[in-house]
Amino acid sequence: MQQTLVNLFANEATRMSAVVLSAVSFVAGAVLSCVVCKLFGRCKKCSGGQGGQASMKPRLPKRHPPVPEGTIEIYVGNLSYELTEEILRKEFEAFGTVASARIITNRYNGKSKGFGFVHMPNRAEADAAVRALNDKLILGRNLKCNQAKNP
């Protein structure tokens, strides 16, 4: 009986030491990976506390120029995926001067996301374009136009 109790305590002590050792190595690994981040930038394990490898994707540069100053920005939604920026520009040029027209695309595959922005320098022309082109059928889809709400 005494030998059985000794074996039981020995097994229990081995299990407890394994649990403590794994906990210590986990904490040490987390501390070391953060030290690596502080010294060398991001590490692959913790990424500087910013979500692991998911945040390690490279930042792609913005492809579109900044908004021209002094223009009215118009949001154009529900665009057909075949609609080009040239067609969008021509639709709005019927109502006045267009500073820029762009369709937002997926940066990885280049396909349209179905919405875009048009910039017009004259407010009266922009309002006329929004009134005329809202719910207009172009390439099989009704456009949704309104003045963009900038945060």
At 28-72, the pLDDT tens digits run: 555 555 665 666 666 655 555 454 444 455 666 666 566 677 899
At 75-90, the pLDDT tens digits run: 999 999 999 999 999 9
Angle in degrees, 0-180, between the axes of helices 123-133 and 85-93, rounded to the nearest 10: 110
Contact 103, 112 (CB under 8 A): yes
Model pTM?
0.58
Instruction: Give residue 122's Cα distance to chain centre.
Output: 32
- CATH code of 72-147, in short, is 3.30.70.330
d(CA 89, CA 106): 20
Q: What are the residue boundaries of the structural domains of the chain, listed by start?
A: 2-56, 72-147
